[in-house]
């Protein structure tokens, strides 16, 4: 298994010889404004450029979109990705939205498992911020709240859990208990709204995760890129957690 950190939550995961592009956010640096409901709204994003060409990034076998938020998908991805590629999403709502962009092979990942060649993908749940607080806010601005995680399983391969946009919560605990992943990717920049609520993990959540799953390798992704971050790569590295990797953009990790 290879995990190639591209930028933000965008990854290329090579698993059982298949390359999956996760959450392709392909716009150039400073292309969009910060989020009005979040901290640092005056900071444009992405804060950094892509580390390699779009053409190389989209040269994959399949795409997985964890949710339809503007820091996980954009019009550059729509234009660059082959419309016939196998494309995995969290729900029928997202399926219809991706199909409306011209993609013809859009599949919903199932909780009970979705097969792709010799690989099984499992949908997992999380909380994109505390559900009782953040979900009503999302509904007010007509933005989806839910974001899936994905577990990869295959014979003779380590089990991978990409947690997606979530805080530390009981749903993450349930996924770890159910699948006992060897490698866990978490989005960990502590993105925070103006009301002080985080919508993804921060350094303390990562520490809690390492204590709960001490045998797993934890990868901190979604770092140093969005406007509303409150935690940096250096913040997590300073904690000196033994089983945590904090990759730079364009770094490739092999397991």
List the chain domain ranges.
Answer: 2-254
Q: Three-state SS for 196?
A: coil
- Tens of pLDDT, residue by residue over 73-122, are 999 999 999 999 999 999 999 999 999 999 999 999 999 999 999 999 99
Name the pLDDT band for 35 (thresholds 50, 70, 90): very high
- Write out pLDDT tens, residues 20-33: 999 999 999 999 99
Instruction: Give the number of C-alpha atoms closer than 13 A to the C-alpha of residue 131, restricted to the C-beta side.
Output: 9
Section 153-168 average pLDDT: 98
pLDDT exceeds 90 at position 198: yes
Per-residue model confidence as pLDDT tens digits over 114-136: 999 999 999 999 999 999 999 99
Dihedral of alpha carbons 158, 159, 164, 167, sign: negative
What is the model's pLDDT at position 1?
Answer: 97
Using alpha carbons only, what angle is made at residue 229 by residues 223 and 232, rounded to the nearest 5 degrees? 50
Give the C-alpha separation, 8 to 188, whole Å: 10
Percentage of the chain beyond pLDDT 90 is 98
The pTM (predicted TM-score) of the whole model is 0.98
Nearest to 121 by CA among 81, 168, 161: 161
Instruction: For the domain made up of 2-254, give the CATH fold.
Output: Metallo-beta-lactamase; Chain A (3.60.15)
pLDDT, average across residues 47-59 = 98
Computed over every residue of the chain, the mean pLDDT equals 97
Residue 160's closest CA among 150, 170, 168, 169?
A: 150
245 sits in which H/E element: strand 244-245
What is the per-residue pLDDT for 142?
87
**pLDDT top residue among 18 and 143:** 18
pLDDT surpassing 90 at residue 141: no
Residue 108, helix vs strand vs coil = strand
Please say if the pLDDT value at position 205 is more than 90. Answer: yes
Residue 247 has pLDDT above 90, yes or no: yes
Residue 77 CA to residue 70 CA, distance in Å, equals 11
Position 61 scores a pLDDT of 98
What's the rounded mean pLDDT across residues 175-191?
Answer: 98
């Amino acid at each position: 298994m290879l995990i190639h950190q591209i930028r933000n939550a965008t990854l290329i995961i090579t698993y059982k010889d298949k390359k999956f592009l996760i959450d392709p956010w392909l716009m150039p640096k400073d292309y969009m404004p910060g989020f009005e409901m979040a901290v640092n709204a005056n900071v444009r994003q992405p804060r950094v450029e892509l580390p390699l060409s779009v053409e190389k990034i989209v040269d994959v076998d399949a795409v997985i979109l964890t949710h339809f938020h503007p820091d996980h998908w954009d019009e550059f991805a729509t234009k660059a990705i082959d419309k016939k590629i196998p494309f995995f999403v969290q729900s029928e709502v997202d399926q219809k939205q991706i199909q409306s962009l011209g993609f013809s092979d859009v599949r919903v990942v199932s909780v009970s498992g979705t097969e792709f060649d010799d690989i099984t993908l499992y949908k997992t749940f999380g909380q994109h911020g505390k559900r009782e607080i953040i979900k009503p806010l999302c509904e007010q601005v007509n933005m989806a709240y839910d974001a899936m995680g994905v577990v990869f399983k295959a014979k003779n391969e380590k089990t991978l859990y990409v947690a997606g946009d979530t805080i530390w919560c009981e749903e993450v605990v349930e996924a770890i208990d159910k699948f006992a992943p060897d490698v866990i990717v978490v989005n960990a920049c502590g993105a925070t709204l103006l009301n002080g609520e985080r919508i993804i993990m921060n350094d303390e959540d990562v520490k809690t995760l390492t204590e709960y799953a001490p045998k797993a390798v934890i990868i901190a992704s979604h770092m140093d890129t969005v406007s509303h971050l409150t935690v940096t790569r250096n913040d997590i590295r300073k904690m000196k957690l033994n089983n945590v990797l904090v990759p730079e953009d364009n770094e490739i990790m092999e397991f």
